[in-house]
């Protein structure tokens, strides 16, 4: 079955480009040999040979035109080009000695290209045709006179060189160069293709993992609804019962806000699960979005001081963002606050193309082991008794969310202590266009 995947088509296109280069090298070498033999007074039917080389040039022109006018190159096109090469080589060898021509090894070039770049059936057709043409040339060809070339060495000595042996030497040199350049590049092309396949498989595994997490989150949302409702009722009753104790009432109000936030998160999971960004997102200016996310975080973590620095610039693009990115930003702020409960810093800068966010905490920093495993699902570095064990999903989910928008996340130790979290997010996929 003919493959039409973009990765295979791109690989075939690159192989077509390399075939054009290879054929050009062949044409130059063959033309140089014909001219050299004529200058050495070796009788050759020059006209049919040059016409055949011109035919190779025509094939190159057709291939070049196709490469410039389409992005899709099929294996059939490359196969047809190789058939043209075999036909041209057969004509060249017919008029220049047939199977005794020292350049008869050139039949191996289309066979090698077909074996590396095409499906097995095409490779076998190319190999069979090459063998058949080689066999016919043993019986039908214009003989090539094997005269000797004379080169003066010094004043009295001379060296007699057989044309066939010189041709074999030249053929070895050219074939070595072609193998080193062309075939090596085809091999690199195959390695790049394997790398692309590995990336696709990794993304598929990532999708399966996210689907499993989504299923667990939806199940947990249903199960946690009842205990959260109970906690909300009890905290409200306690607020009424201890209305004369302001400090306790203040703590109970914080608890009620936390319970409300949990209920909101659970509701958003069941409401927005499976929806696209167009269904679940909202339109904001970039500054409004950041301010809203920051205020939401401050409402849930009032004990931690968050120092925010945002530029006062006129460029304030309108963006379309869903809750997942808001949650990703809140995850990063939560992680920083867990390590540095007293104070954290947030710097946000943007231009027409990019949003950059820096979050710094003043905690103990990242060990080498923690940094190497950070972002792995269910790996957590939170083991403080006051903070509690984390689930190990915050950084992982943040990375997945940013990847949807072609964003990047990095966490590194700050020279002055603590961790510096960097978010680099292109705005091209977020802008609202009129």
- pLDDT over 60 (residue 173): yes
Q: Which of 261-270, 300-309, 378-387 has the highest mean pLDDT?
A: 300-309
Least confident of 51-65, 194-208, 365-379, 392-406: 365-379
**Contact indicator for 144, 97 with CB cutoff of 8 Å:** yes
pLDDT tens per residue, range 111-148? 888 887 888 899 899 999 999 999 998 889 888 665 44
pTM of the model as a whole? 0.47
pLDDT at 150: 46
Domains (ranges, CATH) in the chain? 6-145 (no CATH), 277-434 (3.30.565.10)
Going by C-alpha positions, the residue among 180, 170, 129, 185 that lies closest to residue 28 is 170
For residues 429 and 17, which has the higher predicted lDDT (pLDDT)? Answer: 17
H or E element, residue 411 = strand 408-413
Q: Is the pLDDT of residue 3 over 90?
A: no
Burial of 279 (C-beta count, 10 Å sphere; 0-12/13-18/19+): exposed
Closest alpha carbon to 84 in 131, 108, 52, 115: 52
Percent of the chain whose pLDDT exceeds 90? 14
pLDDT band at 179 (very low <50, low <70, confident <90, very high): low
**231-to-168, 258, 279 alpha-carbon distances in Å:** 90, 10, 32
Chain-centroid distance, C-alpha 315:
32
CB-based burial label for 32 (10 Å; 0-12, 13-18, 19+) = exposed
Mean pLDDT value of segment 2-30: 74
- Residue of 11, 15, 113, 20 whose CA lies nearest to 62: 20
Which pLDDT score is estimated for 315? 76
pLDDT for 198 beyond 90:
no
Does residue 391 carry a pLDDT above 80?
A: no
CB 273 within 8 A of CB 312: no
Compute the distance between CA of residue 412 and CA of residue 184 in angstroms, rounded to an integer. 39
The confidence band for 236, taking pLDDT boundaries of 50, 70 and 90, is confident
pLDDT of residue 273: 52
Q: How far apart are CA 403 and CA 313, in angstroms?
A: 27
């Amino acid at each position: 079955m003919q493959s039409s995947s973009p990765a295979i088509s791109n690989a075939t296109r690159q192989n077509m480009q390399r075939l054009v280069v290879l054929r050009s090298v062949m044409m130059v070498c063959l033309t140089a040999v014909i001219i050299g033999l004529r200058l050495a007074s070796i009788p050759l039917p020059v006209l049919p040979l040059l016409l055949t080389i011109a035919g190779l040039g025509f094939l190159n022109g057709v291939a070049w035109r196709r490469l410039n006018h389409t992005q899709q190159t099929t294996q059939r096109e490359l196969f047809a080009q190789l058939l043209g090469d075999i036909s041209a080589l057969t004509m060249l060898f017919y008029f220049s000695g047939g199977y005794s021509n020292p350049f008869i090894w050139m039949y191996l070039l289309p066979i090698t290209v077909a074996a590396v770049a095409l499906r097995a059936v095409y490779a076998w057709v190319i190999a069979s045709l090459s063998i058949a043409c080689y066999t016919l040339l043993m019986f039908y060809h214009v003989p090539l006179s094997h005269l000797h070339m004379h080169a003066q060495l010094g004043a009295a000595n001379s060296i007699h060189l057989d044309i066939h042996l010189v041709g074999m030497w030249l053929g070895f040199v050219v074939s070595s160069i072609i193998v080193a350049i062309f075939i090596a590049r085809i091999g690199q092309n195959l390695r790049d293709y394997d790398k692309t396949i590995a990336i696709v498989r990794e993304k598929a595994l990532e999708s399966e993992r996210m689907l499993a997490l989504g299923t667990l989150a939806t199940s947990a949302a249903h199960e946690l609804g009842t205990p959260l409702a109970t906690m909300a009722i009890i905290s409200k009753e306690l607020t009424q019962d201890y209305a004369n104790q302001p400090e306790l009432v203040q703590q109970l109000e914080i608890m009620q806000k936390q319970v409300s936030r949990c209920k909101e998160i659970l509701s958003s999971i069941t409401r927005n699960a499976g929806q696209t960004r167009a269904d679940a997102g909202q339109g904001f200016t970039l500054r409004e979005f950041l301010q809203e996310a920051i205020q939401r975080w401050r409402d849930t973590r009032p004990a931690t001081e968050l120092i925010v620095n945002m530029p006062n610039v006129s460029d304030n693009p309108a963006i379309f963002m869903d809750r997942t990115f808001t949650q990703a930003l809140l995850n990063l702020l939560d992680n920083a606050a867990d390590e540095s409960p007293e104070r954290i810093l947030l710097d946000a800068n943007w231009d027409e193309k990019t949003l950059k966010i820096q979050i710094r905490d003043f905690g103990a920093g990242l060990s080498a082991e923690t940094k190497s495993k950070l972002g792995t699902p269910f790996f957590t570095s939170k083991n403080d008794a006051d903070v509690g064990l984390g689930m190990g999903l915050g950084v992982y989910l943040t990375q997945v969310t940013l990847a949807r928008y072609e964003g990047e996340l990095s966490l590194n130790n700050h020279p002055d202590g603590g961790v510096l979290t960097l978010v680099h997010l292109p705005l091209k996929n977020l802008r609202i266009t009129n």
